[in-house]
Amino acid sequence: MIDLKQQLVEWRYHLHQYPETAFEEVKTSAYIAEELKKMGLEVHGNIGGTGVVANLTVGDGKGVIGLRADMDALNLNEIKDHPYRSQHPGKMHACGHDGHMTNLLGAAKLLSERKNFNGTVRFIFQPAEEIGKGAEAMINDKLFERFPVDEIYGLHNMPNLPVGTIHTRPGPIMASEDNFVIRIKGKGAHASSPHMSVDPLVIAAEIILALQTIVARNLDPIETAVVSCTEIHTDGIRNAIPSNVEIKGDTRSFKLEVQKLLEDRMRKICESICEMYGAECEFEYTHEFSPTINWDECNKIATMAAQNIVGEKNTNSDCAPFMASEDFGKFLETIPGCFVFLGVKNEGEELIPLHNQLYDYNDEVLVIGAEFLAEIVQIRLSK
């Protein structure tokens, strides 16, 4: 009989070879559904597009726990040469979602075999995490009306944390992401005649610098936020001052009131500087990811499960928050739950960050992740 580690590796290598991006996870979800059916689970597909929910009930308990994994890959070309490398050019699992799916399949396997709980588990495989739209799509497709849960749990691998360690915290653990576009319309002119222009590049430079004063001078120093301008585009050429400049970027924070402050101050700064120079301004601000805010009681459960699986010394119940964003936060707006980080970095190994063309999930944590998720259920739905 195939052992657990061997089965998990087999699943992950298959999923890694055939990555699919947001809302295109058709073959991925079909493969997952088939494996879950082999375990005897009740499986439902096409939720929120390509999402999958599988149910496992043991006994007559009324409690319901949700366990979630994300399915989508990234539009990156894998450059690491290994036998299970991506077979889809330009797409790869560079964020470890292949490992997350495998962790959850492993938890389903363990729980379906052990049946050491009394209640219902829902295994939720979510599409389109990378673009921050999958959780909302499933919710809009009546996920929690059709498949109610009392609590929901998830994890994400972290390449900067020691292998086999689990990290969580009550309250904010991952930030929101809001995107912005600033369009400045000036007046172009020959580069030798700047006095005949309304130079949108100069205006853009002043705006980019001024935006950094929001966190430094408008935000309470106890709060946390990031404002990053990441792209700038013009319609000029080397010897022509442009007429138009577009600035793109994003902000990160943990609270709704901070998000509002950032948006309001950014809008005012951009419009005022443009008005001062005689240019037109168009300011666009969109909310992409909710902050991921762990519920205190669920954090205690996750901590207990982690200590049971990896030991107290390998469990951090009050880790530092991470300023990146995670679509899981959308679930936690209305459903109690907890999100944790699973360390995957071997000692002495070069750090390869997430979203890197060389990234690959560490098989050494496949069993740990599966056992951790199963342990949450065993604790929460104990007989």
Task: Yes or no: say if 158 and 167 are a contact pair by the CB < 8 Å rule.
Answer: yes
298 marked as binding residue: no
Q: What is the pLDDT of residue 93?
A: 98
Q: What is the pLDDT of residue 230?
A: 98
Separation CA 378–CA 20 (nearest Å): 32
- H helices within 161-255, ranges in order? 200-213
195 marked as binding residue: no
Q: What is the pLDDT of residue 316?
A: 98
Q: What is the pLDDT of residue 145?
A: 98
156 marked as binding residue: yes
Q: What is the pLDDT of residue 60?
A: 96
**CATH code for the part of the protein at 176-289:** 3.30.70.360
Q: What is the pLDDT of residue 143?
A: 98
Separation CA 277–CA 206 (nearest Å): 11
- Closest-CA residue to 257 (of 294, 218, 208): 218
- Closest-CA residue to 240 (of 185, 201, 182, 205): 201
What does the pLDDT profile of the chain (383 residues) look like in tens digits?
A: 579 999 999 999 999 999 999 999 999 999 999 999 999 999 999 999 999 999 999 999 999 999 999 999 999 999 999 999 999 999 999 999 999 999 999 999 999 999 999 999 999 999 999 999 999 999 999 999 999 999 999 999 999 999 999 999 999 999 999 999 999 999 999 999 999 999 999 999 999 999 999 999 999 999 999 999 999 999 999 999 999 999 999 999 999 999 999 999 999 999 999 999 999 999 999 999 999 999 999 999 999 999 999 999 999 999 999 999 999 999 999 999 999 999 999 999 999 999 999 999 999 999 999 999 999 999 999 97
For residue 230, what are its two tokens? Answer: 């990441």
Task: Yes or no: say if 327 and 70 are a contact pair by the CB < 8 Å rule.
Answer: yes
Separation CA 328–CA 320 (nearest Å): 18
287 marked as binding residue: no
95 marked as binding residue: yes
For domain 4-173+291-380, which architecture applies?
3-Layer(aba) Sandwich (3.40)
Separation CA 383–CA 381 (nearest Å): 6
**Sequence spans of domains, the chain:** 4-173+291-380, 176-289
- Per DSSP, the chain holds a count of helices (H) and strands (E) of 10, 16
Q: What is the pLDDT of residue 222?
A: 95
Separation CA 17–CA 1 (nearest Å): 25
Q: What is the pLDDT of residue 127?
A: 98
Q: What is the DSSP string of 37-94?
A: HHTT-EEEEEETTTEEEEEEEETT---EEEEEEE---BS-------TT--SSTT-B--
Amino acid at site 235? D
Separation CA 319–CA 186 (nearest Å): 47
